Amino acid sequence: MNASFAAQINSILAAFILLTAFGLLVQRRVFGLLHIFAWQGLLLSISTAIVGYSAGLHHLYISAVLTLSLKVIVLPWILYVLIHRLKIHKEVEDMVNIPTTMLIGIALVIFSYHLTAPIRELSTLVTRSTLAVALATVMLGLLMMITRKKAVTQIIGFLAMENGLFFAATSATYGMPLVIEMGVALDILIAAFIFGIFFFQIRTTFDTLDLKAMEKLKEEE
């Protein structure tokens, strides 16, 4: 696989990753968010493997396997169990309506391309064209955290933002050192279990995971 072909494949995958980021913004079903998040992790793992093959960096294969196992299988399964046990089957409630959120998201993508333009011109890496998408994915994940009311959906937004950070590391420097990547993967897994305990405690205490409802209860006290 030559460098130009690898760059084209990686750009296509980056476009799909960006599409999943927008999908997370507009999806109104909780289980739908999990499916989109899993697809985003799958695309990210494929992109990492392609970069590893084209650049001859074998440690990226391990990163791809970690991403596949953690973000496509383990984390979605943990979140699925949490959502099922907490009986969260309602539609996702947004603080900002979907059209406005989409417009803000498009503005963030344009800003990302403008901000990374000097880097893309100077970089000689195969992944230079995907850096803007990686930054946009981070910002869209942050936007999802800001515009959602449910604690569970905010956690999915946080994980999507972490996907963007991992994609940015791969795009900018062909990934982080393997020890750091494995440490981050372990931290995310531990955080998922902590979030689960945190959700159950909130549900037991407040009988809801809606942040607005919890704020009202706090004001009444």
DSSP labels for 111-149?
HHHHHHHHHHHH--STTGGGHHHHHHHHHHHHHHHHHB-
Domain extent, residue 171, equals 3-220
pLDDT > 50? residue 217: no
The type of residue at 213 is: A
* Mean pLDDT on 88-92: 61
CA-closest candidate to residue 103, choices 130, 48, 134, 143: 143
Cβ atoms 30, 81 nearer than 8 A: no
DSSP conformation class of 129 = G
Summarize pLDDT for 114-123 with one digit per residue, the tens: 888 887 776 6
* Mean pLDDT on 87-106: 76
Average pLDDT, the chain: 77
Tell me if residue 210 falls in helix, strand or coil: strand
Place of tokens 């901000």: 115
Q: Which two tokens stand for residue 74?
A: 């383990």
Which run of H or of E encompasses 192? helix 178-206
DSSP labels for 1-32?
--HHHHHHHHHHHHHHHHHHHHHHHH--BHHH
Which run of H or of E encompasses 219? helix 211-220
Please, which pLDDT band fits residue 204 given cuts at 50, 70 and 90?
A: low
Residue-level pLDDT at 83: 79
Residue-level pLDDT at 161: 87
Contact residues for 138 (Cβ-Cβ < 8 A; gap 6+)? 161, 164, 165, 168
Summarize pLDDT for 6-22 with one digit per residue, the tens: 778 888 898 999 999 99
Which tops the pLDDT comparison, 148 or 105? 105
Place of tokens 């699925």: 80
Summarize pLDDT for 34-88 with one digit per residue, the tens: 999 999 999 999 988 888 887 777 878 888 888 888 889 888 888 888 777 777 6
* Mean pLDDT on 106-126: 81
Residue-level pLDDT at 54: 79
How many residues are listed for the chain in this entry? 221
* Residue 123: CB atoms within 10 Å: 16
Between CA 206 and CA 213 the distance in angstroms is 9
Distance from chain centroid for Cα 58: 24
* Mean pLDDT on 130-137: 88
Residue-level pLDDT at 197: 61
Residue 57 exposed, middle or buried by CB count within 10 Å (0-12, 13-18, 19+):
middle
Between CA 167 and CA 216 the distance in angstroms is 38
Which tops the pLDDT comparison, 203 or 214? 203
Count structural domains, the chain: 1
